[in-house]
Structure 1
Amino acid sequence: MKTKLIFSTLVICAMTTSSTYADPAYETFDIHFAVLTSNPSAQMIATLNQMKEEVNILNTYFVKEDRSPIIKFRFKSVSFYNEIKNSTCSFIELGDTMYKNEINWVSRFNECNDPLVKDKKALNFYVYDSYTAAAGYNDKDSFGYRNFNRPFIALDWQRLNHQIQSPEEHEMGHAFGLTHVCVSGATLSTSTNIMASAGGCDGSGGKRDIGFNDSQVNTIMYYVPLIKAKLASP
């Protein structure tokens, strides 16, 4: 009788465990990271563990308004500065450039054939040191491009670990075809949509702590199969 009871308990536990971890099927995208900046402070922060944490952040915050997932992300690989600093791929100049806004980074990305810098089978996530004449290297600008369904994003190193207005999910939103949302009168402490921005708006981007709305989710899901197909192509 005792044996039967133990067996029954094990079966119940197994069923409970399997139910707890049984997630719906979400499309999953691999992410390749590359640290482009020579800044020692950035390199201390942009570690292997932090790159894996960036994936956790995306899986936590790249969500709908009800906080449910849309797609999933998975860590694939990372190339650190010392591994790519001598690459012939001119895209790596983004890392510390003082001329960020004068160069077509999409063209340079597309011309790059160094697999340590660009993984053609994954989403590419770059860590760099943003510069402007006004702020110098204390600038913290980040950006993302869908790039004809071969997306990449670039985060200033000071915004890693979800610092300053939810940068990971915001830039990944651009990577999946989303544009900015204007929230008139928003301050930095205002709850706003992930894609809120001060650009062309009389308010700030706010906290960007409200998930994607139905229209945005539809846009993301429209591009999911197109991006999947592009990443699977030669």
Structure 2
Amino acid sequence: MMKVKAIGLATNIDDRARNWEEGVKTTGIPYKLLGVGQKFTGWKMRSELYLKEMSEDTTTDIFIMSDIYDVLVNPKTVKKIKESEDSVKDYIISTFQSFEKPIVIGAEKICSHNCSQFSFQNFVSGIFGNDNRYPNAGLIIGYREPLITLYQHLAKFPNDQIEVGNLVSKYPRIFSLDTHSKLFYNFFVSPDDKRFGTALFVHFPGQNFSAAARVAYNKLANTPISSTTQASQIITFCIIIVWIIVFLALMYLIRIKQ
């Protein structure tokens, strides 16, 4: 019987981390929060802690590497799995193995500053497109030994996500992207209902206002955000995006003139 374990970096235990814990508990798989009480020193720290945990835990076959503060387990998906008389652990294993690759990485549609294929064109097309095709290191699942090899390599880089993107392109026989959100769904601003309805782990980087009411387990779900606050957050986010687009456009024009 294969063993599955979810791990993630959480230097501070707050409501977001507790939400993640509550969600994972509903799946029945073991989990561990790494780096509790430590000072966050960068993404190399995450790679090193992942590597240490996997090296010490020789009994787990499959690890899920998950961001903590902006990732939650989808209760609707858990409910559907349990209603089908399947265990969540078996569902995770069978879905992961359906990719027929030793490592599966969550995919997103936005290619921004920490994307290996970053360009003005890819960034803009991601905002207005629907395809999740860029790797996001916030959600990864794989067999223990290949993951150890991966994180031994990633521990050498300050930005693991950029290097993950490079590796996915270079070694397609090792890596697969969860482009259809079978297990992992990374969404931008507003979730797609179809993807949201199938994914087990939902990643909403910096967008608590869009996801908490749908997938939170504690008071984050019970504290409604006013429409004014939500509108303000969305407007602020859109302004930031516009500024980024303008900046990138100027950089692009400068490069052309040179």
Superposed pair shares fold, TM > 0.5: no
Q: Of Structure 1 and Structure 2, which has the larger fraction of its residues in strand?
A: 2
Answer 1 or 2: higher relative contact order, Cα 8 Å, separation at least 6. Answer: 2
Specify the structure having the higher radius of gyration (Cα): 1
When normalised by structure 2's length, the TM-score is 0.28
Task: State the TM-score, normalizing by the size of structure 1.
Answer: 0.30
Structure number with higher helix proportion: 2
